């Protein structure tokens, strides 16, 4: 697989990474740990070098999984993880895991835990998981800068941050990458975020590039989700929204027929065609889906193809919020 550099930092990663969250968090029921270790290692064999996890996924067990899987392959991969949520008993304002906490002392403690769970002596890319309105972003960036000087972290990233936050952080410690949701059904970053990233030389790592699975074409109004699946409480996955949003999948299917590709592959190829410093991280727990996603990197969409997609997508209004209200409030966009 081709590689890409994330902005001016020159951090080189595979064009498509692997988001590991769903292996232990968010999309219950979860597969066997040993099977996910095998999957992650197969991904490396197929050219994937960029793996994404976070302290809060599980919590903790996702980093442990990624650490075990990649320990024997550590010199071949880039590992990204995140801080910014407080485990029970550690937050000043809330005892739940959804409490934000980016206080400097908490960041340092979180990094020590992540290093141990990931079985490594350095984190390649460390993101603030969500902007904490109680802590100045300059303090956050300054803390990560100290960790970089200490050799515990190589690169600094932000997730779901707005342009003002990005600029303020970047002035203290250069931001290597922004990770936010971006796909054909979540195009909010195009207005302000992507132009700012291009100006500042910051890479972009889209999560949920397949719309939490919807853009694969495998989900319709009859699909049921388990109670532990975040889609069961996500407005955009309400039955009526799934019906209304079907037009976008139909568009991907049409282009796919022309390219001998699946809707998922066209959705990923479209993202890769936007900028050469964009590296999506589709997640999966299944080998056939991993192979399908990787195949997207070989699909070339012409200027005519992209124009056709742009014009058709502009006529489609996506229905439903991408998060439940409480989670939406945590984004900095």
Report the percentage of the chain scoring pLDDT > 90. Answer: 92
Q: What is the mean pLDDT of residues 251-277?
A: 97
**Strand pairing category for 123-128 and 153-159:** parallel
Report the percentage of the chain scoring pLDDT > 70. Answer: 94
* Structural contact between residues 176 and 6, judged by C-beta atoms closer than 8 angstroms: yes
pLDDT at 268: 98
**CATH number, span 3-210+277-299:** 3.20.20.100
Gap between the Cα atoms of 313 and 109, Å rounded: 44
Q: How many CB atoms lie within 10 A of CB 303?
A: 8
End-to-end CA distance of the chain: 32
pLDDT at 93: 42
Question: Given phi > 0 = left and psi -120 to 50 = alpha, else beta, which region is 30?
Answer: beta
Q: How confident is the model at residue 329 (pLDDT cuts 50, 70, 90)?
A: low
Helix axes 263-274, 287-295, angle to 10 degrees: 50
Express each pLDDT in 312-322 by its tens digit: 999 999 999 99
User: Among 27, 57, 127, 182, which one carries the catalytic annotation?
Assistant: 57
Express each pLDDT in 144-180 by its tens digit: 999 999 999 999 999 999 999 999 999 999 999 999 9
Verify whether residue 60 is a known catalytic residue: no
Peptide bond connecting 202 to the previous residue in cis, omega within 30 degrees of 0: no
CA 122 to chain centre: 20
Q: How confident is the model at residue 44 (pLDDT cuts 50, 70, 90)?
A: very high
Express each pLDDT in 70-126 by its tens digit: 999 999 999 999 999 986 555 444 444 568 999 999 999 999 999 999 999 999 999
pTM of the model: 0.95
Domain ranges of the chain: 3-210+277-299
Q: Which range is least confidently modeled, 74-78, 228-232, 322-326?
A: 322-326
Q: How many CB atoms lie within 10 A of CB 96?
A: 11
pLDDT at 86: 85
């Amino acid at each position: 697989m081709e590689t890409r550099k994330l902005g001016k930092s020159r951090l080189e990663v595979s064009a498509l990474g692997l988001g590991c969250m769903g292996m232990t968090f968010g999309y219950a029921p979860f597969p066997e740990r040993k099977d996910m270790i095998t999957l992650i290692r197969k991904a490396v064999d197929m050219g994937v070098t960029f793996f994404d996890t976070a302290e809060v996924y599980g919590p903790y067990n996702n980093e442990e999984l990624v650490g075990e899987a990649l320990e024997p392959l550590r010199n071949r991969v880039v590992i990204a993880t995140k801080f910014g949520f407080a485990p029970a008993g550690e937050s000043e304002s809330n005892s739940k895991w959804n409490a934000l906490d980016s206080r400097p002392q908490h960041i340092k403690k979180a990094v020590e835990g992540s290093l141990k769970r990931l079985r490594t002596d350095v984190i390649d890319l460390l993101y603030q998981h969500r902007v904490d309105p109680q802590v100045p972003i300059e303090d956050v960036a300054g803390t990560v800068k100290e960790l970089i000087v200490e050799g515990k972290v190589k690169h600094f990233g932000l997730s779901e941050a707005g342009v003002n936050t990005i600029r303020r952080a970047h002035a203290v410690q250069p931001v290597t990458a922004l990770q936010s949701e971006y796909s054909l059904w979540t195009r909010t970053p195009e207005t302000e975020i992507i132009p700012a990233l291009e100006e500042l030389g910051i890479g972009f790592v889209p999560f949920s590039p397949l719309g939490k699975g919807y853009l694969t074409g495998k989900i319709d109004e009859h699909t049921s989700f388990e109670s532990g699946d975040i889609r069961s409480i996500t407005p955009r996955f309400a039955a009526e929204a799934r019906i209304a949003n079907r037009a976008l999948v139909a568009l991907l299917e049409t282009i796919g027929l022309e390219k001998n590709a699946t809707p998922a592959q066209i959705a990923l190829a479209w993202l890769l065609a936007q900028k050469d410093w964009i590296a999506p991280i589709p997640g999966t727990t299944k080998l056939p889906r991993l192979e399908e996603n990787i195949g997207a990197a070989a699909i070339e969409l012409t200027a005519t193809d992209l124009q056709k997609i742009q014009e058709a997508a502009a006529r489609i209004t996506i229905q439903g919020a991408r998060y439940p209200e409480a989670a939406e409030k945590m984004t900095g966009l």
